Amino acid sequence: MANQVFTDGPTLNDGVKMPWLGLGVWKTKEGEEVIQSVKSAIAAGYRMIDTAAIYGNEEGVGQAIRESGVSRDELFITTKVWNDDQGYEKTLQAFETSRKKLGLEVVDLYLVHWPGRDKYLETWKALIHLQKEGLVRSIGVSNFQIRHLKHIIEETGVVPVVNQVELHPLLSQKELLAYARENNIVLEAWSPLMQGNLDHPVLAQIAEKYGKTTAQVILRWDIQNGVIVIPKSIKEHRIRENANIFDFELSSEDMAAIDGLNENKRFGSNPDEFLF
């Protein structure tokens, strides 16, 4: 059994429990690189992995899971349908491809990767079907703005369990977080470490006070805000460092100081501009 901190996490609106911390594998190369990083993470205690069809490394993720020595039911695996595959039928096909590459019978969480312009509702309906069929445990979305969330909920009555969005101290997503809380949706932070751009005087000062690194302080801030985190690293020492966040607590003053750093700055694409 894993150390409990790695399985601890919010109970989603469909009753499934999801860990607070997972390993992200965007830009992690298919083959040895992804196999080693996923294995290192699982050995360090991680029980959640975040991949996507577009990352091109689902086969390596699947291999690492099988070789990890940890039983499948202890792990929580997320993948996502890519933009080119949106639409009802294409999504069902894309899911089957991802499931085969991962070598899984059931995917824990399947996400609509980006809303785009006008196919996300049909794509969402395909995810509802996959969940009914028992092929995915939970279904959610990524990069959805409030209007996209309202639209799919109004049309289908099914509330996504999570919305995975860019979220970090320079983009704290306060409005989206408030809407998510009101509607029983959990936010999951992508690029939580600002893609490695961690130099910031206020964060460094807080980190020093707790004897932690800037990365650890940011990840702790997320979790204390009820936000799931999926930091990416291919380096074993950083994979361990990023998980060492369950033995301290930020004071409300320090939480507020980090909240105050918001600049609405994005390192990735803006969903309002990334249209397809």
Ligand X SMILES: NC(=O)c1ccc[n+]([C@@H]2O[C@H](COP(=O)([O-])OP(=O)(O)OC[C@H]3O[C@@H](n4cnc5c(N)ncnc54)[C@H](OP(=O)(O)O)[C@@H]3O)[C@@H](O)[C@H]2O)c1
Selected from 31, 196, 226, 260, the binder of ligand X by CB under 6 A is 196
CB of 80 to ligand X, least distance (A): 6
- Quickly tell me which residue has 């990524």 as its tokens: 142
Q: Are 142 and 163 in contact (CB under 8 A)?
A: yes
- Asked whether position 192 contacts ligand X by CB under 6 A, the answer is yes
CB of 271 to ligand X, least distance (A): 9
CB of 37 to ligand X, least distance (A): 8
Give the DSSP letter string of 94-131: HHHHHHHHHT-SSEEEEEE---TTTTHHHHHHHHHHHH
| Nearer Cβ to ligand X (196/226) | 196
- Number of Cβ within 10 Å of residue 229's Cβ equals 26
C-alpha–C-alpha distance, residues 35 and 60, integer Å: 5
CB of 185 to ligand X, least distance (A): 15
Interface segment toward ligand X; rule CB under 6 A; list 11-19, 131-139, 224-232, 255-263 = 224-232
Q: Is there a catalytic annotation at residue 210? A: no
Give the DSSP letter string of 49-60: EE--GGGT-HHH
What are 20's two structure tokens?
């607070």
Q: Are 239 and 25 in contact (CB under 8 A)?
A: no
Write phi, then psi, for 181 (nearest 5 degrees). -60, -45
| Nearer Cβ to ligand X (158/198) | 198
Does residue 113 have a known ligand-binding role? yes
In the shown chain, the binding pattern of residues 84 to 123 toward ligand X, with x for contact by CB under 6 A and - for none, equals: -----------------------------x----------
Which residues are identified as catalytic? 55
Residue ranges binding ligand X (CB under 6 A): 24-26, 50, 113, 142-143, 164, 190-196, 198, 215, 230-235, 238, 241-242, 268
Binding site residue list for substrate: 113
